[in-house]
Amino acid sequence: MELRTQASIKFGLVDVTAKEDSQLAVNDKQEFVNLQDLKEEELEEIKYGTCERNQFALDGSFELMPEELNGMGWWSNEMSNDFGNFTTPLTMEINFTKSHSSLGLTLVFSKAKDFCNHLNLKFYDLQGNLLSDKDFYPNSFYYVCNNTVENYGKIIITFYSTNKPCRYIKLYRILYRS
């Protein structure tokens, strides 16, 4: 009898002080959302069936949404249109009490392969001066926005569209790469 084994090692440099220091605000969210969930170390995504077009797979991998929800990360209230665009771009503002530096952000969207496919990151210092303004085009639910910025005190993320039409933004983690 032959036994096969497999090992996997993950390594990442993440500034946990930025996560702890972050104050999050958005211009659009579902009523059950608690933005503090984005500070959790390992937020577990449960795939719930929703009214998004062609989203509820009938293979048993999705659950019906219960009356009470928690640990959901950020779900937008607005759904993207038939072309995947938002009528009004969605924004997340992240403020910090002290300066941080990072190699970029890692954004973790839904493992159901629904994600934002066009976003913008703006970094500001604590005095409000713009340090960086860059567009990104994610191609996966786990996306690294490589963008080295030093001494930032605020980040504004603008979400323009989704990779599939008629979808909510579902963001489960933000990692501040150091």
Is the domain 16-177 a CATH 1.10.10.10 member?
A: no
Convert the pLDDT of each residue in 120-164 to its tens digit.
999 999 999 999 999 999 999 999 999 999 999 999 999 999 999
Residues 30 and 76 sit within 8 Å (Cβ to Cβ): yes
Query: Range with the lowest mean pLDDT among 64-73, 93-102, 113-122, 156-165?
Result: 64-73
Domain boundaries, the chain: 16-177
CA distance 45 to 63: 11
Residues 76 and 168 sit within 8 Å (Cβ to Cβ): yes
**First-to-last CA distance in the chain?**
45
